[in-house]
Amino acid sequence: MKISSIKNILVASAIATLITACGEEHNLLKDVETAQGARVKFIHAAPDAAGVALFVNDKKFSGVITTPPATPGVITYGNVYPAIDYAIVEAGAAKARLTVPASSTAAEVVLFDGSVPVEADKYYSVFATGIAPTYGAVIIPDNIPAFNDRQLFFRVVNMVPNSTAVGLTIAGNTLAEKVEFGKASSFVPLTLPTDFKGGAIAISGFTTKVDGAANVTTSVTTNFTGLTAGRAITFVVRGVLPTSTTTTSKFPVTISTYNNR
């Protein structure tokens, strides 16, 4: 057999192995995905809840497993599933159940059991939120703005259960609207430099003031890498406010991000 033929066989075998490996990860969603339906992301924002499992229409939805067998696992506080893109679920009043799975020392704890109304071809973020003993699921429509090749888009979501509102300042621009708990701001455009051709960009001065029993100002200065024009990003403000200006919180207010586009 010619050396070139052997090389072709080895390359084909490597590609087949790669496709199979990727397929294991994508199989996580096959039990709940449909060809058409609503696009959904799930975010764990309940600070005192351990890793949670999400069931959609009685099928396990959540989890990030990197080794076979590709069985959906749990999502830990502050994380998002799917991390990339959205999962597709059947439109309508989707039955949703959030649980802390049973362990060797504790029984399963149900955080939420109810319906989540979603429409076909629309995008949603579903948050596990609250603190013991009151947990719930908050669904927020992701009204992603039209693509613009000279802008990035940002919004803020308030998941601090004992807050009254959050305000947003990004790159020196202060958002006029105040965002109550369980709600999101509109997407704010940030115009890119004329010479921006993709890659890294520093977003400085992202600050959020959280109003409540003890007002807190928290901020993030970060570099986003791998950016392309038109990207839409959500900042999630989460945690619990201290009860006074002289106390500290067991779950400090922090900011995390995820991509909508």
Per-residue pLDDT at 260: 93
According to the per-residue pLDDT averaged within each range, which of 16-30, 32-46, 62-76, 218-232 is highest?
32-46
173-193 tens-digit pLDDT = 777 778 999 999 999 888 887
d(CA 53, CA 258): 19
Q: Largest alpha-carbon pair distance within the chain?
A: 79
Question: CB neighbours of 261 closer than 8 A, spacing ≥ 6?
Answer: 144, 147, 153, 230, 231, 232
Q: What value does the mean pLDDT take over residues 20-31?
A: 43
d(Cα 71, Cα 63) in Å, to the nearest integer?
A: 8
Q: pLDDT (tens digit, 9 = 90+) per residue, 74-107?
A: 888 999 988 888 888 888 888 888 888 887 777 8
Domain identity same for 2 and 51 = yes
Do 164 and 196 have their domain in common? yes
The answer on 127 and 8 residing in a single domain is: yes
> What is the tally of structural domains in the chain?
2
Q: pLDDT category, 205, cuts 50, 70, 90? A: low
**Helices (runs of H) and strands (runs of E) counted in the chain:** 1, 17
Residues 56 and 42 in one domain: yes
Q: Which of 46-55, 82-91, 177-186, 244-253 has the highest mean pLDDT?
A: 177-186
234 and 163 fall within a common domain: yes
Residue 193's pLDDT is what? 79
CATH number of the domain where residue 44 is located: 2.60.40
Per the CB < 8 A criterion, the answer to whether 128 and 40 are in contact is: no
Domain boundary (93, 123, 142) is at 142
Does 59 share its domain with 157? no
Same-domain pairing of 16 and 91: yes
| Residue that terminates a domain, selected from 85, 107, 142 | 142
Assign 62 a pLDDT band (cuts: 50, 70, 90). low
Q: Which domain holds residue 38?
A: 1-142
pLDDT at 150 over 70: yes
Per-residue pLDDT band at 224 (split at 50, 70, 90): low
Among candidates 62, 125, 140, which has minimal Cα distance to 99? 62
- Is residue 164 located within the same domain as residue 133? no
- 3-class DSSP assignment, residue 24: helix
Pairwise CA distance, residues 74 & 95, whole Å: 18
Half-sphere exposure of 140 (CA within 13 A, CB side): 28
Q: Give the integer Cα–Cα distance in Å for 111 and 129.
A: 9
Please state which of the ranges 2-6, 8-12, 76-80, 153-157 shows the lowest mean pLDDT: 8-12
How far is 194 from 222, CA to CA, in rounded Å? 21
Whether residues 107 and 4 fall in one domain: yes
Structure tokens at 233: 């990003």
- Let me know whether 120 and 190 are in one domain: no
* 17, 99: one domain: yes
Task: Report strand pairing: 123-131 vs 38-44.
Answer: parallel
Question: Residue 203 pLDDT > 80, yes or no?
Answer: no
Query: Cβ contacts of residue 154 below 8 Å, gap of 6+?
Result: 170, 187, 188, 190, 232, 233, 234, 235
Look at residues 92, 121, 142 and tell me which one is the last residue of a structural domain: 142
- Same domain? 96 vs 123: yes
